Structure 1
Amino acid sequence: MDKLKSVLSGEEARRDDRNVVQQLNKASTLGWGTRIKGFIACFVVGVCVLFLPKIGITLFIVFYTFGNICALCSTMFLMGPMKQLKRMCDKTRALATTIMLVSNTLHIYEWTWKNFGLALLFVILQVLSFTWYSLSYIPCVRFTFFCNMCKYL
Structure 2
Amino acid sequence: MDKLKSVLSGEESRQEDRNISQIVNEASTLGWGTRVKGFIACFVVGAACTVLGVCMLFLPRIGLTLFIVFYTFGNICALCSTMFLMGPMKQLKRMCDKTRALATTIMISLIVFFSFFQWKNFGLALLFCILQILSFSWYSLSYIPCARLVSL
Q: TM-score, normalised by structure 1?
A: 0.61
Give the deviation of 1:54 after TM superposition.
2.5
Q: RMSD across aligned C-alpha pairs, in angstroms?
A: 1.8
Which one of 28, 41, 60 corresponds to residue 53 of structure 1? 60
1:144 equivalent in structure 2: 150
1:2-58 deviations in whole A, cap 9, x for unaligned?
xxxxxxxxxxxxxxxxxxxxxxxxxxxxxxxxxxxxxxxx9xx93xx4243331001
Taking the aligned partners of 1:74 and 1:133, their CA distance within structure 2 comes to 14
Give the deviation of 1:116 after TM superposition.
1.2
Taking the aligned partners of 1:118 and 1:69, their CA distance within structure 2 comes to 21
Which one of 127, 132, 140 corresponds to residue 133 of structure 2? 127
Which one of 107, 111, 122 corresponds to residue 116 of structure 1? 122
**Taking every aligned residue pair, what percent have the same amino acid on both sides?**
76
1:104-137 deviations in whole A, cap 9, x for unaligned?
11111222x4221221111111111111110110
Aligned residues: 100
Taking the aligned partners of 1:115 and 1:64, their CA distance within structure 2 comes to 17
Instruction: Note if contact 1:100-1:129 (Cα within 8 Å) is conserved in structure 2.
Output: yes
Q: SS of the counterpart of 2:117? A: helix
Give the deviation of 1:102 after TM superposition.
0.8
Spell out the pairing of 1:1-153 with structure 2 (5 A cutoff): 46=55, 49-111=56-118, 113-146=119-152
Taking the aligned partners of 1:115 and 1:85, their CA distance within structure 2 comes to 34
Taking the aligned partners of 2:123 and 2:102, their CA distance within structure 1 comes to 24
After superposing on structure 2, the runs of 4+ consecutive aligned residues of structure 1 that deviate more than 6 Å are none
Taking the aligned partners of 1:135 and 1:61, their CA distance within structure 2 comes to 24
Give the deviation of 1:142 after TM superposition.
0.8
Instruction: Note if contact 1:96-1:129 (Cα within 8 Å) is conserved in structure 2.
Output: yes
Amino acid at match of 2:102: L
Structure 1: 5+ residue stretches without partners: 1-41, 147-153
Instruction: Note if contact 1:110-1:119 (Cα within 8 Å) is conserved in structure 2.
Output: no
